[in-house]
């Protein structure tokens, strides 16, 4: 279900890029609905199988976001149009790797080999069992597309390119986003592999365990430390992009003001109704 909804969202946003501007609000609305629905549909998996609560929170918050976004697109709000353009650009980058298997597998293979090289170079001996599989001390880690940094690169480039900018601003934004995220993601993978296969974080099993032996270290390294670290880094990176392109700063202020205002309007009205 989740994969089908993501695919439907991707198609909707790609249509957004090619139809005349006056019609773009319709594929944008369907694209946002499908992508939020994909996260909501997968909430049981995130909670029960992965002990991951970040994505369920995103999915729940995404419901009012989708309602507000649809309404503003129908009104012709240019900032929400820019936001939708950013999502469309992100999908344009993501789709070839996600849906053309040899392309995605090639990226995964490269990332796996580079992680193995770094690990062995720093004295943490691992074995590459397959093109996407790393082993140490009896524990295995599979590198998947989500481990390549592709999603973060696509999202941040979508943000960087969603508003009007000069050629210089585009080039600088690309250089700040793509190589930096790619390299830092390699070290993120290295940390997770070391922490899990080395069993560094076997604590609080009542929170972290899913019944699989040794999973607690993976939970704390991947679902907590790496996720929070990535979130902080992306916020810092966004602030740097705002300095490169002043239009992004204005865009972010307008978007935050719009959504916060709409939520306050809704919650205030709900309180008065009670």
Residues annotated as catalytic are: 147, 188
Q: Distance between CA 233 and CA 188 in Å, rounded?
A: 12
For CA atoms 172, 178, 179, 185, give the dihedral sign.
positive
- Rounded to whole angstroms, the Cα distance separating 219 from 196 reads 8
Say how far apart CA 14 and CA 169 lie, in whole Å. 24
CA dist., res. 127 & res. 156, Å (int): 33
Residue 105 to residue 232: CA distance in whole angstroms: 28
Give, to the nearest 10 degrees, the angle between helix 167-197 and helix 227-244: 170
From the list 4, 147, 20, 158, the residue with the least C-alpha distance to 91 is: 158
Angle between helices 101-121 and 167-197 (to 10 degrees): 60
3-state helix, strand, coil in the chain (%, to 5): 80, 5, 15
Token reading at 236: 């810092």
- Residue 204 backbone dihedrals phi, psi, to 5 degrees: 45, 60
């Amino acid at each position: 279900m989740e994969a089908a909804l993501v695919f439907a969202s991707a198609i909707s946003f790609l249509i957004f890029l090619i139809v005349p501007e006056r019609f773009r609000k319709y594929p944008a609305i369907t694209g946002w609905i499908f992508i939020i629905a994909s996260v909501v549909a997968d909430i049981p998996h995130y909670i029960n199988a992965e002990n991951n609560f970040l994505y369920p929170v995103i999915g729940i918050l995404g419901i009012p976001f989708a309602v507000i976004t649809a309404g503003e697109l129908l009104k012709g709000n240019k900032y929400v149009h820019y936001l939708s353009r950013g999502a469309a650009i992100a999908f344009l980058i993501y789709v070839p790797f996600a849906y053309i298997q040899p392309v995605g597998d090639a990226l995964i293979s490269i990332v796996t080999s580079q992680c193995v090289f770094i690990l062995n170079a720093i004295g943490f001996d691992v074995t590459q069992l397959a093109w996407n599989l790393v082993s140490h001390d009896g524990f295995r880690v599979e590198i998947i597309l989500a481990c390549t940094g592709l999603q973060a690169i696509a999202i941040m480039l979508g943000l960087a390119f969603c508003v009007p900018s000069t050629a210089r601003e585009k080039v600088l934004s690309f250089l700040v986003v793509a190589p930096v995220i790619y390299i830092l993601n390699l070290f993120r993978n290295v940390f997770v592999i070391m922490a899990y296969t080395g069993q560094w974080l076997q604590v609080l099993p009542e929170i972290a365990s899913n019944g699989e032996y040794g999973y607690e270290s993976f939970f704390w390294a991947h679902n907590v430390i790496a996720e929070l670290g990535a979130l902080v880094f992306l916020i810092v990176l966004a602030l740097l992009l705002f300095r490169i392109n002043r239009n992004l700063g204005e865009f972010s202020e307008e978007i935050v003001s719009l959504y916060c205002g709409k939520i306050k309007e809704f919650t205030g009205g709900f309180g008065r109704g009670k």
